[in-house]
Structure 1
């Protein structure tokens, strides 16, 4: 009986932890890998600049900022799908950060 209670408490704890872990929204997860030309056609210079500010203000809270040129758009796409939810950015802000990063990524 004691083992059953212990297992039930552990299962509830694990369920709580998994439920609280930030997940990328469907919008962020579904974004295709875009190249610089596609991003520049989609976003204005002002939006790209806003993405840079959001990147600097949100990402540096938890770790040293990585240079956008350090990764390809494909690599950044994978990284950002994990990090945007952790930074608690909404879809619009997450897309602006992503636009800034891809425009400045290693080509």
Structure 2
């Protein structure tokens, strides 16, 4: 009887553990590229990206981010705030590194001053 109860507890523990491991894998983590991006100012972004890339970032922001929630205005946050938010949201939107960087460039160029 005791062995049967121990086996049942072991089985339950294994099922719970597998469930937790499965759920943890469902939450995306930012790629190393996105997580390692420094906070850049508008001038640095404009030196790295041309107007076409920034416009592409706007299209990506509008088309991807609005799928899940109301869009925030770019000027509602500072570059530091956008950088922190995007490290979490880019993986959730399933954007690749390049597209994530373009969205980030668009938002930082149009962000409020720090």
TM-score range, shorter chain: over 0.9
Confirm or deny that 1:40 pairs with 2:41: no
Q: Which runs of no fewer than 5 residues in structure 1 stay unpaired? A: none
User: Which residue number in structure 1 is paired with residue 10 of structure 2?
Assistant: 4
Which of these two proteins has the greater Rg computed from alpha carbons? 2
Q: Which runs of no fewer than 5 residues in structure 2 stay unpaired? A: 1-6
Superposed CA deviations along residues 37-64 of structure 1, whole A, max 9, x for unmatched, are 0000000000000000000000000000
Q: How does the TM-score come out when normalised to structure 2?
A: 0.92
Q: How far apart, CA to CA, are the structure 2 residues paired with 1:81 and 1:95?
A: 10
User: After TM superposition, what 4+ stretches of structure 1 lie above 4 angstroms from structure 2?
Assistant: none
CA RMSD of aligned residues (A): 0.5
* Count of aligned pairs: 107
